[in-house]
């Protein structure tokens, strides 16, 4: 399942502090979009507004043909994968994945089917009975992604999911994320300040700076034809 995401004239203020100013962006169903920009430019805030973890000050957000910016997080049809994996230490891998579904009364058989599908997709079926503290960083990362997959969302939202991993694991996980996107065909938004991650993962990159979108384009277009001096400097500089 995948859906378009339409962000229209979205503004975010914390009190008098303006964080995002009049952001508009159309994401196609199944597209892999990366929000790229330096720390503090508002990437997480924009993602969290889509997820429903922050209010929108002005503007609207739609997933498919449904406006979602006034809905509670669980009703938006999107699933967020956090940077810190936020797994429950006292639950097994299987329980960590099924917990959210039990809460919304998904039938038991359906939960088992979805957990099995997610575990097989992520190649963690052999870990289902383990507790998180017995897992490596990379395995925990997969469980966190599995928790999103079982929700069968129309879009996945990733906030710097690779930044806690060492360099070798980061490269491997990046590749696996690309494969996951191919396999599921879902709409994905991925936040990072890392140009290499953006270049290798994105169908389109949204370069953010100073409360605004500086440029939206394919990795090649952004690399070859940066629209502003900022984009040229940020994308051109070595990672």
In the complex, which residues of this chain contact Mg ion (CB under 5 A)? 44
Cβ(64)–Cβ(77) below 8 Å: yes
Binding-residue pattern over the window 110 to 139 for ligand ADP, x denoting contact by CB under 6 A: ------------------------------
Query: Minimum distance from CB of 177 to Mg ion (Å)?
Result: 18
Does position 44 interact with ligand ADP (CB under 6 A)? The reply is yes
Under the binding rule (CB under 6 A), the answer on residue 140 touching ligand ADP is no
Q: Closer CB to Mg ion, residue 44 or residue 139? A: 44
> Would you call 164 exposed, middle or buried from its count of C-beta atoms within 10 A (0-12, 13-18, 19+)?
middle
43 binds ligand ADP (CB under 6 A): yes
Q: Does 50 bind ligand ADP (CB under 6 A)?
A: no
Applying CB under 6 A, the site for ligand ADP has a residue count of: 11
SS3 assignment for 152-164: CCCEEEEECCCCC
Binding partner of residue 45 among Mg ion, ligand ADP, none, CB cut-off 5 to 8 Å per kind: ligand ADP
Selected from 45, 139, 173, 186, the binder of ligand ADP by CB under 6 A is 45
- Part in contact with ligand ADP (CB under 6 A); list of ranges 36-44, 55-63, 89-97, 164-172: 36-44
Task: Give which of Mg ion, ligand ADP, none residue 19 binds (C-beta under 5 to 8 Å, depending on kind).
Answer: ligand ADP
Q: Which residues bind ligand ADP (CB under 6 A)?
A: 14, 17, 19, 37, 39-45
């Amino acid at each position: 399942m995948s859906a378009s995401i339409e962000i229209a004239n979205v503004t975010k203020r914390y009190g008098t502090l303006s964080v995002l100013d009049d952001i508009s962006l159309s994401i196609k169903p199944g597209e892999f979009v990366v929000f790229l920009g330096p720390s503090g430019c508002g990437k997480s805030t924009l993602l969290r507004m889509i997820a429903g973890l922050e209010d929108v000050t002005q503007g609207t957000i739609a997933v498919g043909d449904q406006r979602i910016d006034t809905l509670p997080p669980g009703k938006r049809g999107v699933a967020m994968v956090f940077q810190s994996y936020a797994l429950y230490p006292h639950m097994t891998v299987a329980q960590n994945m099924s917990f959210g579904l039990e809460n919304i009364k998904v039938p038991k058989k359906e939960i088992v089917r979805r957990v099995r599908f997610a575990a097989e997709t992520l190649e963690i079926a052999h870990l289902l009975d383990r507790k998180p503290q017995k897992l490596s960083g990379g395995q925990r990362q997969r469980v966190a992604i599995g928790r999103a997959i079982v929700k069968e969302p129309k879009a996945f939202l990733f906030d710097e999911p690779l930044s806690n991993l060492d360099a070798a694991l980061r490269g491997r996980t990046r590749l696996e994320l690309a494969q996951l996107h191919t396999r599921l065909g879902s709409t994905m938004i991925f936040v990072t300040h890392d140009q290499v991650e953006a270049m290798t993962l994105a169908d389109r990159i949204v370069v953010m700076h100073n409360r605004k979108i500086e440029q939206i384009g394919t990795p090649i277009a952004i690399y070859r034809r940066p629209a502003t001096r900022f984009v040229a400097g940020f994308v051109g500089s070595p990672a």
